[in-house]
Structures are given as structure tokens and as C-alpha cells.
């Protein structure tokens, strides 16, 4: 039997604190956030993270380090004299995490399992640190469908490779489904920050999230391919007709787990390729690097405006 979890009542969380939905955690003597190299007893998580408002995730350690430096400049955050930005999770050898005032910048690796493990631990981190109303962003890359490389896509919802808008996870031998919902108002607010004279488009659309980069995304250049060019184009056209504008590998879990925790979230990715035109990512490295700054700039604008309003 599959279980679609109902819309939950929010009453007990009106103060904005993060909903864990796990009665076991508060009964534990300590909670080790293993993949972050942090623990609820070994670290003063309220002191270290209590002022966090924004959690920004990206695929690679390098990109999130760059984002941390970039956001530091944008919000005018000053580090104590003689200190530099530190990878807080360096000894996990799994994920990288940087803190710049109210902003956490964390790498999530590739794919649903990797981002899912991280989200469990970061959501618990928010809970232990008593953070209220955090906003989570995924800042990433994707393939576009009928979009030029360098286009910025803000996801309105995430669907899987079968166009289903929920995450499915086998738990104790039963399939658990969680709706992959993103905050539509947040998506519109981010879109409103795109500049009219930006030399690229910024759009809102549906995002397909896959379990694989090659066959799962209809690529013909993996180690295996058992379909034809026609089959592929038929599938991409079907996606396009269904309103899917981009393809990546984390949004389904990101949307489902943040929604389940009652956390506002958005996914903003830049396209590296138009999948109607090919499978291989051919743009030169300098071009790819410039494109990847675009979603960072948009989120930085959101964060800066938000902090100015405070
Ligand atoms: C986008 O890029 C990665 C694959 O190259 C994957 O993490 C994703 O979602
Ligand atoms: N990331 C993906 O998952 N797919 C692409 O085509 C490009 C980046």
C-alpha cells in the first residue's frame, strides 16, 4: 500500500520553529549529525547556528565556498579580525559547510540520496539550533528543454521521471510518498528580482528530477543506450508539453523534505545545455563558470533585500 501523507496542520509550529516530526530525537541523550561532523552535545548548536536565516545548498564544495565569499561581500558581513572562512564540516569528508552571518552555504553532492541525507541532518541542525522560519535554497545547474544555455530557471514544482510530483521512498518495505512542493510565492518573489537588462532569461517552470544523469535524462552518450534518437525526442517533447523546462537531480527530495518539515524553499538552477540540441555539455569552462554565478546573484539579491527590510 502506498501512503500519501496528508496536508498537515501547522498549529503547534506557529512560532516558526522547525518541525521535526520525529518524537525520538528529543528523547536521545545526544544527536550526532554524522555527515556534518557536528553533534548536539559536542557543539553548542544554538550558539553556533541560532542566528541562521538562509540555508543555501549547491552541488560542489568549490561552488558553495565561492558562494560564501560572494554573499559575504554582498551583505557586507565582516569576519572577526585575523580569521578566514572555515569549512565547518571539513572533517566529515562528505559535505562542506560555510557560515556567513545568517547564511549557511552547504554542498549537497549529486543526486537524491546525497541531498536527502544532508537535508535530514540540516533540518535537525535547525531544530537543535532553535532557528525560526529558515528559508532553504538550492542553487544549481540543470539541462534546459527548449532553453538556451545560461537561462536561469526557478522551479515551480518538482516531478520525477514519470512526471509524478512526489518523492517515493521505500520505508520498512512500504512505499512512502511525499509531495514535492515548493513555495510558489517565494518563486515569484525571486523572479521579481531578475533585472530586465540581464543578458539572459529568468523563468519559472516545472523541473524534472531524475535518478541518473545519462539514461534517466534521456541521454544517448552514456555507457549504455537502448533507445533511439526518435524515442528520445518524443520523450523530450512530451516533457516540454507537460510544462517541464529543465532537468536536474535533487529538486524532488529537496522540495519534498523541506515541505514535510514546514520549511519554505526554492530551487534556482542555470541551464548548461538545451537538451533539444544535444546531450554533451560543450560550453567552455569559463562560460560555464560565468553561467553558474547567475542563480547565485539572484539569491544574493533576495537575501540582501530581505536583510535590508529587517
Ligand atoms: C545538476 O548537475 C549535476 C549533474 O551533473 C546534478 O547534481 C544536478 O542536479
Ligand atoms: N545537470 C543535470 O542534471 N543535467 C544536465 O543536463 C546538466 C546539469
Q: What is the mean pLDDT of each run of 10 residues along the chain (310 residues)?
A: 44 70 96 98 98 98 98 96 96 98 98 98 98 98 98 98 98 98 98 96 98 98 98 98 98 98 98 98 98 98 95
Note the pLDDT of residue 4: 45
Measured from the Cβ of residue 236, the count of other Cβ atoms closer than 10 Å reads: 19
For residue 262, the surrounding DSSP H or E stretch is none
Nearest to 64 by CA among 90, 92, 91: 90
Q: What angle do CA 134, 140, 145 make, to 5 degrees?
A: 125
Q: Is the CB of 211 under 6 A from ligand 2?
A: no
Q: Which residue has the cell 525526442?
A: 233
pLDDT score recorded for residue 14: 66
Q: What is the DSSP letter of 132?
A: B
Give dist(CA 121, CA 109) in Å, integer. Answer: 14
pTM of the full structure = 0.95
Residue of 60, 141, 161 with the most ligand 2 atoms within 8 Å of its CB, for mutation? 141
pLDDT at 13: 57
What CA–CA distance (Å, rounded) separates 39 from 71?
26
Q: Is 143 in the pocket of ligand 2 (CB under 6 A)?
A: yes
> Ligand 2: distance of its center to the CA of 136 in Å?
21
Q: Interhelix angle for 251-260 vs 112-128, to 10°?
A: 30
Beta strands per DSSP E along 152-242: 152-159, 166-171, 174-179, 202-209
Tell me which residue has cell 553532492: 109
Distance 210 CA to ligand 1 centre (A): 10
Question: Which pLDDT score, from 0 to 100, does residue 19 have?
Answer: 76
Q: Is the CB of 112 under 6 A from ligand 2?
A: no
Per-residue pLDDT at 68? 98
CA 111 to centroid of ligand 1, rounded, Å? 7
For residue 50, what are the CA distances in angstroms to 56, 101, 132, 187?
A: 16, 10, 9, 26
For residues 267 and 182, the answer to whether their CB atoms sit within 8 Å is yes
User: Residue 7's pLDDT is what?
Assistant: 46
Quote the pLDDT of residue 16.
80
Amino acid at each position: 500500500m502506498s501512503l500519501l501523507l496528508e496536508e498537515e496542520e501547522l498549529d503547534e509550529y506557529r512560532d516558526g520553529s522547525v518541525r521535526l516530526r520525529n518524537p525520538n530525537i528529543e528523547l536521545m541523550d545526544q544527536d550526532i549529525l554524522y555527515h556534518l561532523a557536528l553533534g548536539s552535545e559536542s557543539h553548542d548548536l544554538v550558539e553556533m547556528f541560532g542566528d541562521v536565516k538562509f540555508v543555501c545548498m549547491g552541488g560542489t564544495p568549490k561552488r558553495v565556498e565561492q558562494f560564501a565569499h560572494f554573499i559575504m561581500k554582498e551583505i557586507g558581513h565582516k569576519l572577526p579580525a585575523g580569521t578566514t572562512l572555515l569549512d565547518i564540516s571539513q572533517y566529515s569528508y562528505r559535505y562542506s559547510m560555510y557560515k556567513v552571518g545568517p547564511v549557511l552555504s552547504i554542498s549537497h553532492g549529486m543526486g537524491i540520496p546525497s541531498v536527502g541525507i544532508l537535508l535530514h541532518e540540516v533540518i535537525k541542525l535547525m531544530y537543535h539550533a532553535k532557528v525560526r522560519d529558515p528559508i532553504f535554497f538550492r542553487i544549481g545547474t540543470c539541462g534546459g528543454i527548449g532553453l538556451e544555455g545560461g537561462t536561469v530557471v526557478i522551479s515551480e514544482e518538482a516531478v520525477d521521471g514519470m512526471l509524478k510530483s512526489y518523492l517515493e521512498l521505500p520505508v520498512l518495505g512500504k512505499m512512502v510518498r511525499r509531495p514535492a512542493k515548493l513555495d510558489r510565492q517565494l518563486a515569484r518573489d525571486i523572479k521579481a528580482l531578475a533585472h530586465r537588462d540581464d543578458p539572459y532569461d529568468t523563468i519559472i517552470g516545472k523541473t524534472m528530477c531524475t535518478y541518473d544523469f545519462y539514461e534517466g535524462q534521456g541521454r544517448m552518450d552514456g555507457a549504455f543506450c537502448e533507445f533511439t534518437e526518435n524515442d528520445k525526442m518524443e520523450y523530450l517533447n512530451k516533457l516540454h508539453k507537460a510544462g517541464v523546462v529543465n532537468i536536474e537531480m535533487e529538486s524532488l527530495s529537496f522540495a519534498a523534505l523541506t515541505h514535510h518539515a514546514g520549511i519554505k524553499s526554492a530551487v534556482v538552477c542555470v541551464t548548461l545545455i538545451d537538451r533539444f540540441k544535444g546531450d554533451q555539455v560543450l560550453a567552455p569552462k569559463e562560460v560555464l563558470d560565468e553561467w553558474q554565478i547567475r542563480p547565485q546573484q539572484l539569491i544574493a539579491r533576495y537575501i540582501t533585500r530581505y536583510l535590508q527590510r529587517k
